[in-house]
Structure 1
Amino acid sequence: MPESSECKKSLPLRPSRTAPVNDYSNYHVHSGSLPQKQVKNADNQLDGYPKLQKLFKLKEHQISEHATAPYGCRISIDEMIPTLNSWIHRNHIVFDVVMIGCLTDNQFIYPLLTQLPIDRLISKPGFLFIWGSARKISELTKLLQNQNWAKKFRKSEELVFIPVDRNSPFYPGLDHDDESLFERMQWHCWMCITGTVRRSTDGHLIHCNIDTDLAIETKDTQKTAVPVHLYKVAENFSTATRRLHIIPARTGKEIPVKVRPGWVIMSPDILLNNFDCDRYKEEINRIGLNLTTGPDIEALRPKSPIQKKNQC
């Protein structure tokens, strides 16, 4: 016989088997607001992690103490390759960290990379960061599968930067015939390594697992053509002091490229044009090729777990 309504009311309530979740996809359909705008700790990803906050402060102080003066090399895109060859052959300058590209969609990345004297520009071991929009991933894949590049570099990590909405200055342009349901609005950075570097033994060369692989645009990142986060990821990962950033694109006078201590920035729109090879080599000789290690940073930074040897 069917249960009466009184019997149904007397039954105890059972907890739901599915945990409540925030459906930001449904929220986006009704409001138009993208899910990344709902992330609460985008401005401070270290909120609630006091040890990591202390580590970041120590790293920031360490990097600033062992940084060269901010150098800018204002040059046209056509002159970048001849200038780099001159630095290599005439001035004998190499770099340990090279970053190419920024969050600008009109970049001359693939043709530049095919002509770049990358094997002589980066020391071994060395690190290469290449930024590109989601539409250029196929070009980067084709490049790294090239026989010459595959012998010299191996892809190690992939970083992602996400703008908050279409009004962002970092929102990548779309093709005229791009009418897909899902927009490819993120930026990707492929970190490649030349030489042999082991995170378990080469703590004097790399400090792994300090930054997250994902960054979301904040109010502070909109003040410059190159967000500071792009530089901090490279600075926190590698302990090298010789850093070069090549920006093969015009960013315009409204959003100029700013110099940064510890970096040589090559760009058509860099604000300061003061790079001098002899002065740069003197500074590198003074501060050293790598950051000095300290017990406080070594105790706080994440490390690879120690593998236990098999015991018979």
Structure 2
Amino acid sequence: MSTGKKAEDFDRRKRNISMKPATVSFMNDNSENYIQTNVMPQNLITNSQNQLEGYPKLQNLINLKEKHIAEYTTTPYGCRVDIDQMVPILHRWILKEKLTFDVIMIGALTDNQFIYPLLTQLPIDRLISKPGFLFIWGSAKKINELTKLMNNENWAKRFRKSEELVFIPVDRNSPFHPGISDNEESLFEKMQWHCWMCITGTVRRATDGHLIHCNIDTDLSVESGLTRNSAIPSHLYKVAENFSSATRRLHIIPARTGSETPVRARPGWVIMSPDILLNNFDCKRYRQEICKLGTHQPVKPEIEALRPRSPPSKK
């Protein structure tokens, strides 16, 4: 091919390239939007009010489970106790009353709680059944404390960390905002809450459907307009209720929460707190209710047909 022909072909290809429209990619830049508007990115999540929007099968499952849980639930119990009396009273429940629970939640969305000292003093392995499930809530600033606890040899032998849940408030005006960071000059603010779910004993997703229903709720929750102003949003209770079919549930809040974030009693739970609005817990009455209900909800075929399952083994 002659030199003139080569030059002509090169010019033709150059013209074709230049005539093509430039490719424009559109994407959401929530960081830039926050700088311009001061609106937190979590406020822009479209399905924060209803995370099941567009998933009718899962919505049906949640509705069936909600009715099933309500059918096998105890009276809402509150136990109003000062923080320094929590450990002695829980010891009495273990030794004298012989109480055990299958689901225990510790902590709430308030940053002044003393979770680490309580966990190191309390023989939780004797308070919780095997298998059992432990949910521990703490702000992002207290992750180091929880990590230190989980790395303790005695604790690691008794509890196995399985899941981590995250709750995000919508902004600094939220009652769930954890407060000012230790480093006020920090560029990024840690405002999320973390929950470590630990398991005692052995539970397998594939074979223990009568004990656990996994994969129903998401690991990330964002505060919405439907969230009640309480020390812990009702949705976070539902995560524990949906996960385990157990009826014996205990929630320990080792902190003063005040009037802005009151502690409300919830059906199916014994809530221990210095500020619980209801103070009606009686060991004898509680045992009688559990004897009538049973320690676990019975299996319901409609729920079993809808609930998500782990992928089948390749073997």
Instruction: Please tell me the TM-score bracket, short chain as reference.
Output: over 0.9
Q: Which residue of 1 aligns with 2:19?
A: 11
1:287 aligns with 2:293: yes
SS in 2 for 1:170: coil
Q: 1:98 aligns with which of 91, 95, 104?
A: 104
Assess if the C-alpha contact under 8 Å between 2:175 and 2:260 holds in 1.
no
Q: Distance in 2 between matches of 1:242 and 1:172?
A: 29
Q: 1:304 aligns with which of 281, 303, 310?
A: 310
SS in 2 for 1:97: strand
SS in 2 for 1:220: coil
Shift of 1:55: 0.2
Count of aligned residue pairs for this structure pair: 306
Q: Which residue of 2 aligns with 1:22?
A: 28
Q: Deviations over 1:103-124 (max 9, x none)?
A: 0000011111100111110011
My pick for the range that moved more, 174-183 or 278-287, is 174-183
Q: Distance in 1 between matches of 2:219 and 2:284?
A: 36
Unaligned runs of 5+ in 1: none
Q: Which residue of 1 aligns with 2:246?
A: 240
Shift of 1:254: 3.3
Q: 1:205 aligns with which of 204, 211, 234?
A: 211
How do 1:187-226 residues align onto structure 2 when only pairs under 5 Å count? 187-226=193-232
My pick for the range that moved more, 281-290 or 177-186, is 177-186
Q: Which residue of 1 aligns with 2:169?
A: 163
Q: Distance in 1 between matches of 2:228 and 2:267?
A: 20
Q: Deviations over 1:72-97 (max 9, x none)?
A: 00010011001101111111100000
Q: TM-score, normalised by structure 2?
A: 0.93
How do 1:75-224 residues align onto structure 2 when only pairs under 5 Å count? 75-224=81-230
Report the residue type matching 2:66 in the other structure: E
Q: Which has the larger radius of gyration?
A: 2
Q: Distance in 1 between matches of 2:205 and 2:16?
A: 62
Q: Deviations over 1:236-269 (max 9, x none)?
A: 0011110000000101123310000000000000
Assess if the C-alpha contact under 8 Å between 2:75 and 2:268 holds in 1.
yes
Report the residue type matching 2:102 in the other structure: D
SS in 2 for 1:21: coil
Q: Distance in 2 between matches of 1:42 and 1:56?
A: 16
Assess if the C-alpha contact under 8 Å between 1:169 and 1:222 holds in 2.
no
SS in 2 for 1:114: helix
Q: Deviations over 1:120-170 (max 9, x none)?
A: 100111000000000000000000111110000010000000001111111
Shift of 1:12: 3.9
Shift of 1:29: 1.1
The 3 A distance-change label for structure 1 pair 181 and 222 is farther
Report the residue type matching 2:208 in the other structure: D
Q: Deviations over 1:258-288 (max 9, x none)?
A: 0000000000000110000011001111011
1:276 aligns with 2:290: no
Q: TM-score, normalised by structure 1?
A: 0.94
Q: Distance in 2 between matches of 1:276 and 1:235?
A: 22
The 3 A distance-change label for structure 1 pair 26 and 254 is closer
